[in-house]
Amino acid sequence: MSNFSTFSPVGSVVKYQEFTSSGTFTPSAALVAQGGYVNIILVGGGGGGGSDAKTSYGGGGGGGQVVMRTGKITSAQSITIGAAGTGGGATGGTGGTSTVATVCTAQGGRGGQGGNSNGGAGGGSGVNVPTTYDGTNSILANSGTNIGLGSAGSSPNNGGNGVYSGGGAGGATSLNNTYRGGACLSTGRVGGTGLANKGGGGASWGDGANAGASGSANTGSGGGGSGGAGGSGYCIIQWTE
């Protein structure tokens, strides 16, 4: 159900509500009476994999950001589930942002680029990271600093691991390319496997998609290079009564 502990006071019951599409969370009277404290897991949409029009080569999309936090909800809150990033084209689509009203936000993963090119960065990949998230700076992209940067096609490698999401792997020039998308360290999920100039997608709440494949719904997974769409976002809210 979640990565949060299910510990609760004696006599109380753990309850939760999942959102696989946008909606509204309305706290119960019992929850409000206890102060409205909840645990939230929120996942942004995964980026789509790129795909060159002539060769279908491309980098994998980045995984959507995974946010785990405690919040306070005492009134109805709108929930937005980020859309999956579209696959294909010179650059795959960026995954949609997921939100629990103003309580918390999870960014979508960036799209991978078409051709023997770059993987998309994971959503929300750290603080003070340059705007070049998409792997065009190969030194940063391959540095393994756990901020989810995409791998550069000019210097192909696995996508960078991310604490909150994984960067997508860049499409390589070698036909023996097996470059994976980056892992998401907070969920233990792994990036997708690349194949023949097509990078794997970055991990998020779910594993990244393999080359040519799309991420599963509600996983935030990055789509595989060669036009795989990302996985849509997700939200679960947990509390005790």
For 68-116, write each residue's pLDDT tens digit.
999 999 999 999 999 999 999 888 999 999 999 999 999 888 888 887 6
For 121-143, write each residue's pLDDT tens digit.
665 443 334 444 445 444 344 43
* Residue 138: its H or E element: helix 138-141
Q: Which residue has the higher pLDDT, 226 or 129?
A: 226
Give the C-alpha separation, 226 to 232, whole Å. Answer: 18
Instruction: Taking residues 168-189, report their average pLDDT.
Output: 75
Q: What is the mean pLDDT of the chain?
A: 82
- The answer to which of 25-34, 80-89, 167-176, 227-236 has the lowest mean pLDDT is 167-176
Pairing of strands 23-25, 77-80: antiparallel
**What is the signed CA dihedral for 6, 101, 205, 186, rounded to 10 degrees?**
-70
Among the listed residues 176, 235, 178, the one whose alpha carbon sits nearest the alpha carbon of residue 204: 235
* Rg of the chain in Å (alpha carbons): 18
Q: What is the pLDDT of residue 144?
A: 42
* Residue 198: its H or E element: none
Give the position of tokens 């947990």.
238
Give bridge partners of residue 18 from the DSSP assignment. Answer: 236
Residue 181 near residue 201 (C-beta atoms within 8 A): yes
- Which token pair is 55? 């060769």
Give the position of tokens 């290079």.
225
- Which token pair is 163? 């604490």
Q: What share of the chain is helix, strand, coil (3-state, %, to 5)?
A: 5, 20, 75
Q: pTM score, two decimals?
A: 0.88
Q: Which residue has the higher pLDDT, 2 or 235?
A: 235
Residue 142 near residue 160 (C-beta atoms within 8 A): yes
Structural domain of 200: 1-241
pLDDT band for position 46 (cuts 50, 70, 90): very high
Residue 193 has pLDDT above 80, yes or no: yes
Q: What is the pLDDT of residue 159?
A: 82
Contacts of 215 (CB under 8 A, 6+ apart): 46, 61, 84, 201, 206, 208, 209, 221, 222, 223, 228, 229, 230, 231
- Which token pair is 194? 């690349």
Instruction: Taking residues 184-193, report their average pLDDT.
Output: 91
Domain total for the chain? 1
Residue 165 near residue 66 (C-beta atoms within 8 A): yes
Instruction: Taking residues 35-61, report their average pLDDT.
Output: 90
Q: What is the pLDDT of residue 56?
A: 85
Strands (E), 3-54: 14-19, 23-25, 37-43
